[in-house]
Amino acid sequence: MLGIDFFVGTAAEAIAHISKYGGLIVAPAAPSFIALQDDPDYRRAIADADLAIADSGWAVLFWRLLRREKLTRISGLALFKALLETADARIPGNLFWILPSEKAKTKTLEFARSSGYPTTADDCYVAPKYFSCSHGSVSREERERVSQKRGYSIADDALVAILQSRKPKHIVIGIGGGMQDKLGSYLKHQLTDRPGIYCIGAAPGFVTGDQVVIPMWADRFFVGWIFRIIGRPREYLTRYWKARLLPLLIIKYGTRIPQLRTS
């Protein structure tokens, strides 16, 4: 769909695949498909993924209505819970969390402690505010400086050094803003080993309590976005409004990646 080959199977099977082979896993949300037209950095990151899951209930629904084809949906929340159910998650040092804030770190540590996961503060990294070189507010000098980091729009030497030292088997990227996939692609090519890199946005926060809690029935019936809007209306109303263009993209491009628009 729209140039992305999605995994066909269950969340547990997707986790088993990444646990065995490692690599970058992405879960594009409905607004993210719109970004395929406007953000070359995001396009490259998605193309670099080793496995993609159809996280967007809207995309799955529109694909079924407009193309008469069924697409297996695996939400980022379901995938994350499947990871937590593995034996790997109970082994110290196997999980590493990249989080958006100190509050998210605190919530993650509280969740791990209460649920019996051997996660410590050293297994968590609070990400700085990343930017994309394609963003118009970034100066030419800054774009060139960051682009010299092997051509990636995001660079974080401190994070790479930590991961090289700790060598976790699973790296959970829980930041949003369309940056997690770019960061995941960057890490994939900077690290000498091949861990599983999970770009699943807010899904960890749904479980740890950093984000609004979404019941599994709501996730299963494609209405988890309603809970997110209720929790943070100003942020998510704007974001999901962009998704109104998704049916038009599916009609126009089908299985092809949308053409990149230029200013």
3-class DSSP state of 78: helix
Nearest CA among 80, 122, 127, 77 for reference residue 102: 127
Torsion angle in degrees (nearest 10) through CA of 12, 223, 225, 176: 10
Burial-class residue 210 by CB neighbours within 10 Å (0-12, 13-18, 19+): buried
Q: In what order do the strands lie in the sheet with 51-52?
A: 51-52, 23-26, 196-199, 170-173, 95-99, 124-126
Residue 195 and residue 223 in contact, taking contact as beta carbons nearer than 8 Å: no
Q: Residue-wise pLDDT tens for the chain (263 aa)?
A: 999 999 999 999 999 999 999 999 999 988 889 889 989 999 999 999 999 999 888 889 899 999 999 888 898 889 999 999 999 999 999 999 999 999 999 999 999 999 999 999 999 999 998 865 544 444 444 444 444 444 557 899 999 999 999 999 999 998 876 789 999 999 999 999 999 999 987 777 778 865 555 555 555 655 555 555 555 666 655 666 677 889 999 999 999 999 988 65
d(CA 123, CA 204): 14
| 181: its two tokens | 């996939």
Alpha carbon of 222 to those of 17, 61, 62: distances in Å? Answer: 25, 9, 12
Alpha carbon of 141 to those of 6, 147, 179, 248: distances in Å? Answer: 37, 10, 21, 37
225 contacts: CB under 8 Å, gap ≥ 6: 57, 58, 236, 240
3-class DSSP state of 206: helix
Nearest CA among 134, 113, 136, 126 for reference residue 156: 126
3-class DSSP state of 244: helix
